[in-house]
Amino acid sequence: MSDSALEEQTFAPLQEGVRTNFGKGRTFRQIGKTVVFDGHRNLKKLISMILINTLFVSLFVIINMLREYNPPEATDYVVSYLSFFSFLILITAILFGGSIIVEDFEKQTGNLLFPKIERGRLMVGRYLARIALASISLTIYYVEVALLTYINYETVPVIMWESLGWAILYLHLVLSCVVLMSALLNRIATAQVASLLVLLMVSQIVTEILMFTGSTIEPLFLPTYYSNIISAWFNMPDPRFGERPAFGFEGVSDRVFRSWATPSAEGAIIGVIIYSAILLVSAYLIYHRKQAKT
């Protein structure tokens, strides 16, 4: 074997390793720069959501004052502020995620016409930036409620921060749904409206159908079902479902309707991870396919 051949055989693995490490470093740098850039670009949305959340907190304060609602336990007081919190999470996800993919096609951005970053890296960077901003807005909501709780009870239940963790986990799932809609549709407004309709109306209709057909299947396939654990975590029911006779239905007086209150902790974690992974991978594949056709 010649000296040149021996040198090539000796250093080829090292050169390949350098190229691989360089490629990984470039990937992380591009994702990091995308996170920073997209984060700055969406700061106005963060401010808007903080104002909206603060408005909701203020309205709940007024309602509690008018009702003269002063429960003996601080946890019950916190739960009173979570009545419409799943709806706020939905609005937050739609605001931050509705444009995440579709904006490239609607506005014909440079990312589409002159791509300098691979689609997957761009999507990951944008997603990380937006879920971080959305999580900040939810956290500020909890901080405001915690402050009010401390003023009234001189304590803040530790369990409410665990509830915040469930809220952020649910946000991840809802944002994944919105990202898929953003990949499927061609207008930002259409993606936002479609996300609202699917996650509110369709999920509610399916829930009613399951209940009235007497199904005993836990609706883990419905994304909105996972929101129940946010408030149920303060006092996890056992069993986690309720049953009632089907009064008023001719010929079915012996039928029992079952409604599920909340997923279990294990079911929520596993379900959200699997569900969101399927949604995000599907969104990426659609994004990549649309990019190839452009």
pLDDT(274) > 60: yes
The residue that leads in pLDDT, 186 or 278, is: 278
Residue 221 lies in a domain: no
Residue 151 lies in a domain: yes
Q: Who's near 221: CB < 8 A, 6+ residues apart?
A: none
Give the rounded distance of the alpha carbon of 32 from its chain centre: 21
Tens of pLDDT, residues 31-44: 888 899 999 999 99
Residue 239 lies in a domain: no
Residue 222 lies in a domain: no
Residue 123 lies in a domain: yes
Q: What's the pLDDT at 12?
A: 45
> To the nearest whole number, what is the mean pLDDT of the chain?
85
Number of independent structural domains in the chain:
1
Tens of pLDDT, residues 49-108: 999 999 999 999 999 899 888 899 999 999 999 988 999 999 999 999 999 998 888 776
Band of residue 213 on the pLDDT scale cut at 50, 70, 90 = confident
pLDDT(276) > 80: yes
Q: Distance between CA 285 and CA 282 in Å, rounded? A: 5
Q: What's the pLDDT at 133?
A: 97
φ and ψ at residue 115, rounded to 5 degrees: -65, 125
Q: What's the pLDDT at 119?
A: 78
Q: H-type helices in the chain, by residue range?
A: 3-41, 43-67, 74-79, 85-97, 102-106, 110-113, 119-153, 159-184, 188-197, 203-212, 229-232, 265-293
**Mean of the pLDDT values across residues 168-181?**
96
Residue 56 lies in a domain: yes
Give the rounded distance of the alpha carbon of 23 from its chain centre: 30
What amino acid is encoded at 153 in this protein? Y
Band of residue 272 on the pLDDT scale cut at 50, 70, 90 = very high
**Mean of the pLDDT values across residues 207-223?**
82
Band of residue 10 on the pLDDT scale cut at 50, 70, 90 = very low
Residue 68 lies in a domain: yes
Q: Who's near 169: CB < 8 A, 6+ residues apart?
A: 226, 268, 269, 272
Residue 110 lies in a domain: yes
Q: Are 38 and 130 in contact (CB under 8 A)?
A: yes
Q: Are 144 and 64 in contact (CB under 8 A)?
A: no
pLDDT(287) > 50: yes
Q: What's the pLDDT at 108?
A: 63
Domain boundaries, position 281:
33-199+276-293
Please provide the distance, in angstroms rounded to a whole number, between the alpha carbons at the two ends of the chain.
Answer: 51
Tens of pLDDT, residues 121-152: 889 999 999 999 999 999 999 999 999 999 99
φ and ψ at residue 266, rounded to 5 degrees: -65, -45
Q: Distance between CA 227 and CA 213 in Å, rounded? A: 23
* DSSP secondary structure letter of residue 264: -
Give the rounded distance of the alpha carbon of 145 from its chain centre: 21
Tens of pLDDT, residues 176-204: 999 999 999 989 999 999 999 999 888 88
Q: What's the pLDDT at 14?
A: 39
What amino acid is encoded at 76 in this protein? D
pLDDT(16) > 70: no
Q: Distance between CA 234 and CA 162 in Å, rounded? A: 9
Pairing of strands 241-245, 256-260: antiparallel
